[in-house]
Structure 1
């Protein structure tokens, strides 16, 4: 994404702050990144020129400006001029946009660590999920890899973990089958841009009496409305696509809580796995 220009000056940093105030679509983030990379000239570019730089359509640039709360691109351009005129160049730390994106993940992890000062919610979630037989784990679209990651390790300490990573009418069937088989809780990982099917699945879970533990990006995410326990972890938004560093860390924190809720069974199943792994020579 870097064309040789690095947004190391004060105007570029101010633009990052401006664009970071709301959630942008991937196309809108391409526009934002182009404006940041060309921070010095951005206030003097037309909508057509910005579209060419970002490789998007001119209407996309207009929608980008409206998404930021402006009447159109001319109003946004006036704001860009105010920012660049008021900005005072500083030496800075020399970080480029990609480095700042990674540094921002440290802040997300720090916020997650601070939230874990109070363990009541994560402990309650661990107990709820540990007792569920089977344990369905929902993760659609961008959340599917995190659901699979959690389930891969959870299967070592839980006898029946079921990953629900595809939508459609079969998703409702699988939720109802899990409930009929004895499931008493659902872990749902719902991340931006919040698939409609994920939210529909949470409504179905509530209808069939299946309590939901939701890992999502914010306490006010759409998933929170349908969950008994909400565990938030912010996603990184400084690149074209989200970074899921904090949500992934939270999945492992939650799995630790599941293990802590049933320590004897966890130990027994881990010993059984190690014995089987040695017998089958699974690892080098």
Structure 2
């Protein structure tokens, strides 16, 4: 019987919240998002192939292995290794998945291109709305329900909860902190590495340390995360890169999706998708603590209404 280490809850009848980071990417509308998330963990040759896949999956699906190797400037064996690194048994399986994914995608439009210096405000607005809408949809394909369940059960425990994020990720951490406080779940948010580190070393079994990092490689959260894990705390990471250093340290990985474009660096690209993950986590926690959360929301709403009056 599988039990959650934070509160002993029986998980045998529900999705497995354990690590599933070695499962194949699989066909689907989120295949390109999955590949983008794996890019930083690939070798240079494999990364070139992966970028071609992300840029035009339909063309790659039509290409033989020799045609793709010529296009990417790599060997046939590199393509086979790349397919396996992406979770497939070989290039034929990858081609089939890409063909299926491409068939589900709408025709490419100018909205998928980056913002240029010549774009009008209306064009900027249309491109940003399109890109961020895609990030939300792709996040649904990347966020694993089993991993989410494990994180929810950990957050619902009685131990301490510390949330860390620096820069734009710090804003996401603050958003989760505010939401959980509103439903009566005590927690602490840290926007700098020293505060996060000094809190992490004081945690223990039953406590939770949750880190937010777009790249999963930020030293500001990696060391606190490592120390929290060493002390026996349950660790959770929200990141766009499920093969990152932070993801490998975490008990539960909540993967988001967001693509960088011109004038839209990684921090900006990840914010919307990370907030979607935060909302999913928050709502699931509120569900499992319904009576307490409902009471807390009503009381705090009444307090705010009285203050405004």
| Residue in 2 that maps onto 1:214 | 237
Instruction: Supply the distance in 2 between the matched residues of 1:22 and 1:239 (Cα, whole angstroms).
Output: 19
**Structure with the greater alpha carbon radius of gyration:** 1
Q: Are 1:135 and 2:157 matched, yes or no?
A: no
SS of the residue corresponding to residue 192 of structure 1 reads coil
2:272 corresponds to 1:259 = no
Q: Using a 3 Å threshold, how does the CA distance of structure 1 residues 230 and 22 change in structure 2: closer, same or farther?
A: closer
Alignment gaps of 5+ in structure 1: 1-18, 24-68, 71-91
What residue number does 1:124 align with? 150
Query: Kindly tell me: are residues 227 and 274 of structure 1, through their superposed partners in 2, closer, same or farther at Cα, counting changes over 3 Å?
Result: same
| Structure 2 residue aligned with 1:144 | 170
Residue 263 of structure 1 deviates from its aligned partner by: 1.0
Answer whether contact 1:134 1:159 (CA < 8 A) is retained. no
Report the more deviating stretch, 93-102 or 260-269. 93-102
- Secondary structure, aligned partner of 1:97: coil
Distance 2:137 2:37 in 1: 18
Name the residue aligned to 1:271. Answer: 298
* TM-score normalized by the length of structure 1: 0.60
Equivalent pair of 2:37/2:240 in contact (CA under 8 Å)? no
Please give the alpha-carbon distance, in whole angstroms, between the structure 1 residues aligned to 2:279 and 2:153: 15
User: 2:133 maps to which residue?
Assistant: 106
* Residues in 2 aligned to 1:191 and 1:167: alpha-carbon distance in whole angstroms: 16
Partners of 2:135 and 2:259 within 8 A in 1: yes
**2:183–2:286 Cα contact (<8 Å) kept:** yes
Secondary structure, aligned partner of 1:258: helix
- Please give the secondary structure, in 2, of the residue aligned with 1:215: strand
Deviation of 1:148 (Å): 0.7
Q: Structure 1 residues 271 and 101 mapped into 2: Cα distance closer, same or farther (>3 Å)? A: closer
CA contact (8 A) 1:101 1:239 kept: no
How far apart, CA to CA, are the structure 2 residues paired with 1:159 and 1:221? 29
**CA deviation profile, 1:182-214 (whole Å, cap 9, x unmatched):** 861122111127321211111001111111111
CA distance in 2, matches of 1:135, 1:20: 27
Distance 1:175 1:22, change over 3 A: closer
Change (3 A) 1:20 1:135: closer
Alignment-derived partner of residue 211 in structure 2: 188
* Aligned counterpart, 1:6: none
Q: How does 1:222-241 map to 2 (within 5 A)?
A: 222-240=245-263, 241=265
Give, in whole Å, the separation in 2 of the partners of 1:215 and 1:207.
19
How far off its partner does 1:256 sit? Answer: 0.8
Give the root-mean-square deviation of aligned CA atoms.
3.0
Alignment TM-score, normalising by the size of structure 2: 0.56
- Aligned partner of residue 201 in structure 2, secondary structure: helix
Q: What SS class does the counterpart of residue 294 from structure 2 fall into? A: helix
Distance in structure 2 (CA, Å) of the matches to 1:94 and 1:222: 35
User: Partners of 1:163 and 1:225 in 2: how far apart?
Assistant: 22
- For 1:21 and 1:112, locate their aligned partners in 2 and report how far apart those are by CA, in whole Å: 14
Question: For the residues of structure 1 that align with 2:182 and 2:201, how far apart are their CA atoms?
Answer: 24
> In the alignment, is the contact (CA less than 8 A) between 2:181 and 2:187 conserved in 1?
yes
| 1:190-249, Cα deviation, whole Å (9 max, x unpaired) | 112732121111100111111111110022122111100101002321134221221111
Report the count of equivalent residues. Answer: 195
